[in-house]
Chain A
Amino acid sequence: DAKTTQPPSMDCAEGRAANLPCNHSTISGNEYVYWYRQIHSQGPQYIIHGLKNNETNEMASLIITEDRKSSTLILPHATLRDTAVYYCIVRVAMDSSYKLIFGSGTRLLVRP
């Protein structure tokens, strides 16, 4: 079962920041938070991941609360092409690698 909960849908205006919340209250100390998105029916696309500290890359920023029980993905200037389903995932370690347990995600609609 997924270890995360997300709102089923959100919308934002084009050009504005999109803030997507995620709760992961049962996360363990060594488990990472990953974000992927799926545009239409394509394969999921990696966005960003983090453990404790906030992270930023060319796509997005990830803000993780100090107690690590929740996080927020920020798309600073959303475009129409950012319309997608966004998955917040707690990475589960396996022997020498890991698996991703997907939840239902948040369907983000960026409005013109």
Chain B
Amino acid sequence: NAGVMQNPRHLVRRRGQEARLRCSPMKGHSHVYWYRQLPEEGLKFMVYLQKENIIDESGMPKERFSAEFPKEGPSILRIQQVVRGDSAAYFCASSSDVGEQFFGPGTRLTVL
């Protein structure tokens, strides 16, 4: 049973470009969570999605950030017009209805 997959593992963007981060949950999991980790800090919750629905986006910045989890395909975290402060590790986790959250290896975004 493959774990949570994230790609790309490393992403470099210049200021003003768009970043798209993908997350494929574990087989059988319908809940996806995105977290952001700045250097030397703990993970910060961003958004929780189920298929085709955003359930809780209380941790998402109000502008430039969006997330989706379509009926088919991976969950996407999209950052428009990236700035240097967006440089961080972005982790995706998935769970079944009542199970533990399992994390992917993360995507490390560097904004030049």
> Which A residues have a C-beta under 8 Å from some C-beta of B?
2, 34, 36, 41-46, 49, 87, 94-97, 99-105
Contact = CB atoms under 8 A, between A and B. Distances in A.
Contacts, number: 60
B62 to A, nearest CB: 18
Interface stretch (B13-21, B63-71, B103-111): B103-111
Interface in B7-66: 31, 33, 35, 41-45, 48, 50, 55-56
B interface majority secondary structure: strand
Given A43-B104, A99-B48, A100-B35, 6 more contacts: A44-B93, A45-B103, A96-B97, A97-B95, A101-B45, A104-B41
Contacts of A94: 48, 55-56
B91 A43 contact: yes
Contact of A42 (B31, B33, B105): B105
Contacts of B31: 97
Among A44, A96, A102, find the residue whose CB has the most chain B CB atoms closer than 10 A.
Answer: A44
Contacts of A100: 33, 35, 43, 45, 93, 101
B100 interface: yes
Contact of B55 (A34, A36, A87, A95): A95
Interface residues of B, number: 26
B89 interface: yes
A97 B103 contact: no
Contacts of A105: 42
Nearest to A43: B103
Nearest to B95: A97
Among B93, B100, B104, find the residue whose CB has the most chain A CB atoms closer than 10 A.
Answer: B100
B76 interface: no
18 contacts: A2-B42, A36-B103, A41-B89, A41-B106, A43-B91, A43-B93, A43-B104, A43-B105, A44-B103, A46-B101, A94-B55, A97-B31, A97-B48, A99-B48, A100-B43, A102-B43, A103-B42, A105-B42
